[in-house]
Amino acid sequence: MKFNLADNAFTWALSKIFDLACLNVLWVICSIPIFTIGASTTALYSVMLKLVRNEEGYIFRGYMKAFKENFKQSTVIWLLILAMGAVWWIDYNFAGLIGGGAGTALRLIFLAMGILLLAVFIYVFPLTARYENSVKATLKNALLLSVAKLPYTILFFVIAVGAGIVSLWNVMTFLIAVPFWVFIGVSVVVWINSRLFRRIFQVFEEQEKDEVDSVR
């Protein structure tokens, strides 16, 4: 029996693409009520972080299990971020009504706060998916990590902003982007992010392991 490496790689690639598409559709369906976006994003990261470590099992079962287990905490976090985002938007626009240097300074301050809030949003759901912690501790860790791992944070921003710019470049790219994001795009971005988060989490987990071994 001949073993064709090319055919095997092609089959593996098709399998992964199918998994990403299934996860994306699950994410879209579970996010439709809007207030469930936090839980659906946490569930997506929960499965994807295993996928990049080749530890995945049943995609649907794993996703729904993570969705149910993290629903309460992820929903609270999501609603808190939405509330903070709304307050930020009001304050940022109010600062724009103030003329002169004071208004410009205030807008710059609020812009920096908005960037920090977005960074927390990027980190908080992977952290919820990977570790058991309180809402307060998870938000705090997301903020600390976004600053401590600034190069990664910048890379996350580049990925998100780049994807947004390409999608909204013109009418043609927008029409292509809509089905792309609905059927696989979100999963692709989360898969890329998960590979980066795997490196970030691995460093901290190795440090914790070393500290435990040194105590022993």
What is residue 204's predicted lDDT score, i.e. its pLDDT?
66
- Could you tell me if residue 60 is inside a domain? yes
pLDDT higher than threshold 50 for residue 1: no
Give the separation between CA 35 and CA 7, rounded to whole angstroms.
43
pLDDT higher than threshold 60 for residue 189: yes
**What number is the average pLDDT over the span 152-178?**
90
Dihedral Cα 59, 49, 174, 161, nearest 10 deg: 170
- Could you tell me if residue 215 is inside a domain? no
pLDDT tens, 22-53?
999 999 999 999 999 999 999 999 999 998 88
Angle at 99 between CA 94 and CA 101, to 5 degrees: 110
pLDDT higher than threshold 80 for residue 209: no
- More confident position, 57 or 178: 178
pLDDT band at 71 (very low <50, low <70, confident <90, very high): very high
Q: Are 184 and 26 in contact (CB under 8 A)?
A: no
Give the separation between CA 68 and CA 70, rounded to whole angstroms.
6
Q: Give the residue among 9, 16, 32, 20 at the shortest CA–CA distance from 180.
A: 20
**What number is the average pLDDT over the span 121-132?**
94
pLDDT higher than threshold 70 for residue 205: no
pLDDT higher than threshold 70 for residue 150: yes
What is residue 58's predicted lDDT score, i.e. its pLDDT?
80
- Could you tell me if residue 214 is inside a domain? no
- Could you tell me if residue 107 is inside a domain? yes
User: How many folded domains does the chain comprise?
Assistant: 1
pLDDT tens, 2-23?
555 455 777 877 888 888 999 9
- Could you tell me if residue 155 is inside a domain? yes
- Could you tell me if residue 117 is inside a domain? yes
Residue entry with tokens 């040194």:
214
What is residue 126's predicted lDDT score, i.e. its pLDDT?
95
pTM: 0.87
Domain around 46? 5-209
